[in-house]
Chains A and B, each alone.
Chain A
Amino acid sequence: MAPPVALQNLSEGELLERIKERDEIAFSLFYERMAPKLYGLVFKVLNDAKEAEDVTQEGFLHIWNKASAYEAHRSSASTWAFLIFRNKAIDRLRSRERRDLGVAKIAQAPEIAPASEEQPDRRLDRKDEAARIHATLDEMPVEQKEALVLAFFQGFTHIQIAEKTGTPIGTIKARIRRGLVKLSERLGGQLA
C-alpha cells in the first residue's frame, strides 16, 4: 500500500520524529528514501555485498531502536544516519581486517544501480549536494583529499595515514582539520 501523500512530503528529520513515536509507515518511507545512499556508503567502505547487506540491516534496526537519540538541533537527519552507518561499516572493516582484501573485491562488485526509489526532486537535491562535495574535494590539495578519504571511507587513523604516506602526524592532523573546515564552509549548514 502506498504511504499517505502527506507523509511523503515530510523531510527525513520529520520522519525521524515520527519514528520516535514508533510510526512504521514513517520508517518505511525513511528506508525508501535513504537506503540507496546508505547501502552505497556501506558498500563503498566494505567492498563486499553480503557484509554491506548485514551492516545496512543492522543500521536500520539501530535507526528504529535509537531514533529517540536523534536531536534535530544538533545535526541534520542525513548527517545522523550517514555517521551511524559509516561508523558501523568502519567497525566491521576494522574487526575483520578486511583492508587488504578490499581492493581485490572491487572487481567483484555488483553493478551499481540508480537510486530509483527516491522521488526525482529529492534525487536532484542530493545530486546537487554530491556535486558540491565532489567539487570541494577536487579543489583541495591532493594530499588533503587523500587524508580525508582514507579516514572517512577506510577508517584509517591519523597515525596510520601518517605511516602510510610517510608524513608527520601533525601534518596529517592539520590536513584533516582544514579539509573538514572547507567541507563545512561549503555546506553552510544546508545538508538536509
Chain B
Amino acid sequence: MIDEQTQETASLHALGLLAPEEERAFVTQMRQDEALARLVEEFQEGAAAMALTAPSMTPPPAMKQRVLDQIRAREENKVVAFPTRTSVWLPWAVAASLATAATYLFVDRGRMQGEIGQLQERVAFSQIRVATLTSLLKDAPNTVAAVVWDEHGQKGLLDVRNLPPLENDKDYQLWIVDPTYKQPISAGILRVRDGVAQAEFRPEQPVASADKFAISVEQKGGTPPNTGPQGPVVMAGN
C-alpha cells in the first residue's frame, strides 16, 4: 500500500514539478519499489492524456523536411572519419557554431537554432555538446551565448555577446547544471570586454552530465566553493 504522501510526490514527479533534490530522492525510492514505479507510470499516462485536450494543428510543411535533413546528416556523419583529437576539432566546432550564431542571430533565430542543432547532432557521438544560452533579462533580450562542452576532456569554450555592463563590485559567473550534484558547478568568472566574453573553461568539479548551462550575476570574484549561484541567473540554456 502506497501512502497518500508518497502518492502525492509521485503525482508531482509525473508532472515534472519536484525540486531537483526531491526529484533525486524520489527517483531513488522509485527504483527500489516496483509498485511505486507502476503508480508513476499510471500517473504519467493520465498526465499525458491531457495533451489530447490541446487542439491538433498542422505544422509548417517545411518542418518535416528540415527534421529529415537533420537526421540524414547525422546518419551520414556517423560513417565519415571525424577528427577525434580535441585540439583539432574543438576550435572547429565552436567556430562553426558561433559563426552560425553571428550570421543568423538577428536575422532568423529559428534557423540559427536549427543550424546549431544540426552541428550538435553531427558531433554528438564524439561526446561534444553545443549549447545555446538565451537571455532571461527583459532589458537585454539580445544577449546570446554559445557553449561547446567536451565531456571527455572536462572542458569547454564559451562565447557571449551583448552582455550588459555590471557594477564594479559584481561579476558574471558561469555554471554547469549536473543532476548528480545538489548545486550547479562553477565554471569560473567571465572576463567581459565591450559586452563580449570568450574563454576556455574548466569546471571546479568533475561533470558527469552537463544538463544545462547558466550565467549569474555574483559579487566580485564569484561565490564561495560549492555554494551555487547566490545572485540572479541572467542566461540559461542547453
- The answer to whether A75 and B63 touch across the interface, beta carbons within 8 angstroms, is no
Taking a contact as CB atoms under 8 Å apart, the answer to whether B11 and A152 are in contact is: no
Question: B37 to chain A: closest CB distance in Å?
Answer: 8
Distance A33 CA – B8 CA, assembled complex (angstroms): 34
Which residues of chain A from 77 to 125 have a CB within 8 Å of any chain B CB? 78-79, 82-83, 85-87, 90-91, 95-97, 110, 112-118
A184–B45 contact, CB under 8 A? yes
- Overall SS of chain B's interface: helix
Report how far A53 CA is from B62 CA in the complex, Å. Answer: 10
Indicate with 1 or 0, residue by residue over B113-136, a CB within 8 angstroms of chain A CB atoms.
110010001001000000000101
Contacts of A149 in B (CB 8 A): 50
Q: Which residues of A contact B136 (CB under 8 A)?
A: 95-97
Other-chain residue from B46, B117, B138 in contact with A58 (beta carbon distance below 8 A): B117
Return the CB mask of B41-53 against A: 1 if under 8 Å, else 0: 1111111111111
> Once bound together, how far apart are the Cα atoms of A113 and B72, in whole Å?
29
How far does the Cβ of B189 sit from chain A's closest Cβ, in whole Å?
Answer: 23
Minimum CB–CB distance for A49 against chain B, Å: 8
Q: Are B53 and A133 in contact (CB under 8 A)?
A: yes
Q: How far does the Cβ of A73 sit from chain B's closest Cβ, in whole Å?
A: 9
Contact between B68 and A24, CB atoms less than 8 A apart? yes
Chain A residue at minimum C-beta to C-beta distance from B66: A57
Q: Are A37 and B71 in contact (CB under 8 A)?
A: no
A141 to B51, CA, bound (A): 20
Interface residues of B in 1-25 (CB under 8 A from A): 4, 7-8, 10-12, 14-17
B48 and A78 within 8 A (CB): yes
What residues on A are CB-neighbors of B11 within 8 Å?
173, 176-177, 180
Query: Judging by beta carbons under 8 Å apart, are B110 and A187 in contact?
Result: no
Are B58 and A79 in contact (CB-based, < 8 A)? no
A16 surroundings in chain B (CB, below 8 A): none
Binary flags per residue of A172-186, CB closer than 8 Å to B gives 1, else 0:
011011011111100
B8 near A40: Cβ-Cβ < 8 Å: no
Q: Which residues of A contact B110 (CB under 8 A)?
A: 50, 53-54
> C-beta contact mask, A9-49 vs B, less than 8 Å → 1, else 0?
00000000000001010011001100111011101100000
- Tell me whether B163 is interfacial, beta carbon within 8 Å: no
The smallest beta-carbon distance between B71 and chain A, in angstroms, is 5
Say whether B210 faces chain A, with CB atoms less than 8 Å apart. Answer: no
Interface string of B202-238 (1 = CB under 8 A from A): 0000000000000000000000000000000000111
Q: How far is the CA of A65 from the CA of B75 in the complex (A)?
A: 10
Residues of A within 8 A of B109 (CB): 50
**In the complex, the 7 A-B pairs of residues with the closest C-beta atoms, listed nearest first:** A183-B46, A115-B56, A184-B46, A79-B48, A44-B54, A82-B48, A36-B56
